[in-house]
Amino acid sequence: MLKLCVIDVETTGLDDRKHALVQASGKILIGGKEVSSFDFKVRPFDTDEIQDEALAVNHLTLEEIASYPTADEVIPKMKEYFYQFVDHDDPKDLLTMVGFNIKFDQGFMRSLFFKANALNSFKNIFHYKTIDVQALVLGYLFANGLDQDMMAFHQKDCARAIGIEVDEEKLHEAQEDSSLSLKIFNKMIEKLRN
């Protein structure tokens, strides 16, 4: 049975090697049914860089992210949460990440676990394969003769292109963005079935 983790992360920059993941939110789907949701906030490591532009985009302050729990506190909670959805005796029973430009989110999640010396746990929870809702929508649009500039195709554009309303005031908050990714994913599954 396919197990999906629809996820979005907020970060302190664009490079998962030097910037921090500060929020990871999403939903777990098993067999196409939503079974759980999550929202983890994490204080950056002391060695992580923080870009003012990233904080502005994410509507965060230095004081706010400094109040978040440390990775040493959050990683055990993440492991406990995600482990309940995978069978440890079956190395193929993993969660597949789903999201908009999902390699970005996957990279930051992997980096968080790596920086916390928990990379093996990451590999025992998440599949290396992912489902990118942006690619699903672009493929659909191209197949239907609609040319779209991929570089300027943001999540809100993706959603609007397939008839999903977007509240721009709520964008760039991991819970809202992961919910929007799930709406896009579900709409594309519906389109593919028809």
Contact 185, 26 (CB under 8 A): no
Question: Which pLDDT does position 153 carry in this prediction?
Answer: 82
Do residues 117 and 151 both lie within one domain? no
Chosen domain end from 107, 132, 157: 132
* 3-17, 37-51, 60-74, 153-167: the lowest-pLDDT one: 153-167
Question: Which pLDDT does position 171 carry in this prediction?
Answer: 85
Tokens at residue 131, please? 């489902």
Do residues 144 and 109 both lie within one domain? no
Question: Which pLDDT does position 152 carry in this prediction?
Answer: 65
Do residues 36 and 103 both lie within one domain? yes
Mean local confidence (pLDDT), 43-54: 97
As beta bridge partners, residue 49 has 19
Which runs of consecutive H residues, i.e. helices, occur in 13-151?
52-57, 62-66, 71-83, 102-115, 119-123, 133-143
Question: Which pLDDT does position 168 carry in this prediction?
Answer: 87
Do residues 60 and 126 both lie within one domain? yes
pTM to 2 decimal places: 0.94
Chosen domain end from 132, 151, 184: 132
Do residues 36 and 124 both lie within one domain? yes
Give the range of the structural domain holding residue 178, as residue numbers without chain letter: 134-193
Do residues 80 and 142 both lie within one domain? no
Question: Which pLDDT does position 150 carry in this prediction?
Answer: 60
Do residues 95 and 170 both lie within one domain? no
Q: Which residues contact 85 (CB under 8 A, 6 or more apart)?
A: 3, 28, 30, 35, 36, 95
Q: In the predicted model, is pLDDT for residue 166 greater than 80?
A: yes
Do residues 70 and 142 both lie within one domain? no
At 66-88, the pLDDT tens digits run 999 999 999 999 999 999 999 98
Domain holding 31: CATH number?
A: 3.30.420.10
